[in-house]
């Protein structure tokens, strides 16, 4: 496979509020983070998965990975204090991997990097197909969902309605040609961004929007887990 997946998993799940990281919460019989990994595992276009984890959680991740029956090479790296720093650590590992001498007859050539939150267990294969293809043709693409409610801006003296026709919410994965994301992170090393597309936008490289399913939710609060359970059950029936 020619795509490396970076999974930021080094948060602490403050808003979820459980004792251990929300990523270890049980969803349909396995930890939440494993669902996210599973969505990429069987794809022939994915050749490497890098999980960025915190020092506190590293031993649990190691143990759970060792129990996985996974065909995909998974590497663990130490994440940082912010999501951007965790992605940076993952990216450094991807670049190390691509520079390693190949010990197999055909070493994988990584040409794209997909960044996907470990807290998004429900991304659909058809959405991955589309965002991966768009990144191949344009070099940078992200999944988005249309804004469904009416958007208001607080002007200070009252409310103003924002035209939502061209407004979207950013999802993941966000997928980039390897040189595009490498340059974006090299340029902005250490600088904050709420997502990866923002760093690429700053370089002037256009990032294409790919409308995906709104099912691709991020588990933030405990109630999100119940919604995810319902969506998984619906997919089975
Ligand atoms: N993340 C990370 N490194 C950080 C912070 C977040 O790798 N320093 C990861 C999280 O583990 C998660 C993803 O980025 O998979 C999205 O972040 P979020 O949903 O905000 O998770 P947390 O930061 O863990 O939750 P909270 O903000 O409620 O503490
Ligand atoms: Mg967070």
| pLDDT tens readout for residues 189-208 | 767 778 899 999 999 999 99
Q: Which ligand 1 atom sits closest to the C-alpha of 15? A: 28
The predicted structure's pLDDT at residue 188: 72
Q: By CB neighbour count within 10 A (0-12 exposed, 13-18 middle, 19+ buried), where does 21 fall?
A: buried
Ligand 1 pocket mutation pick from 6, 10, 11 by most atoms within 8 angstroms of CB? 11
Q: What DSSP state is assigned to residue 201?
A: H
Instruction: Considering every ligand atom shown, identify the ligand nearest to the alpha carbon of residue 117 and give its number.
Output: 1
Kindly state if the Cβ of 9 falls inside 6 Å of ligand 1: yes
pLDDT in tens, 152-194: 999 999 999 998 888 999 999 999 999 999 999 988 776 777 8
Q: How far is the CA of 13 from the centre of ligand 2 (A)?
A: 7
Q: Are 78 and 58 in contact (CB under 8 A)?
A: yes
The predicted structure's pLDDT at residue 165: 86
Q: Are 105 and 38 in contact (CB under 8 A)?
A: no
ipTM score assigned to the predicted complex: 0.99
Residue nearest to atom 16 of ligand 1 (CA): 117
Q: Which residues of the chain carry a pLDDT beneath 50?
A: none
């Amino acid at each position: 496979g020619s795509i490396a997946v970076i999974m930021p998993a080094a948060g602490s799940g403050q808003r979820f509020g459980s004792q251990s990281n929300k990523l270890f919460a049980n969803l349909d019989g396995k930890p939440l983070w494993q669902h996210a990994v599973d969505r990429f595992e069987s794809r022939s276009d994915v050749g490497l998965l890098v999980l960025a984890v915190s020092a506190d959680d590293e031993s649990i991740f190691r143990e759970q990975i060792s129990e996985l029956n996974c065909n995909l090479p998974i590497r663990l790296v130490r994440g940082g204090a912010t999501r951007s720093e965790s992605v940076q650590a993952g990216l450094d590992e991807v670049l190390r991997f691509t520079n390693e001498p190949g010990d197999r007859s055909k070493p994988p050539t990584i040409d794209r990097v997909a960044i996907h939150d470990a807290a998004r267990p429900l991304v659909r294969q058809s959405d991955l197909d589309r965002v991966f293809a768009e990144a191949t043709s344009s070099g940078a693409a992200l999944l988005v969902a249309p804004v469904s409610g009416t958007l208001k801006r607080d002007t200070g003296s009252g409310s103003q309605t924002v035209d939502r026709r061209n407004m979207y919410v950013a999802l993941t994965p966000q997928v980039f040609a390897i040189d595009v994301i490498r340059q974006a992170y090299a340029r902005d090393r250490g600088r904050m961004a709420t997502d990866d597309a923002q760093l690429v936008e700053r370089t002037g490289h256009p990032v294409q929007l790919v409308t995906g399913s709104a099912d691709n939710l991020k588990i933030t609060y405990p109630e999100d887990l119940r919604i995810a359970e319902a969506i998984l059950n619906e997919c089975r029936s």
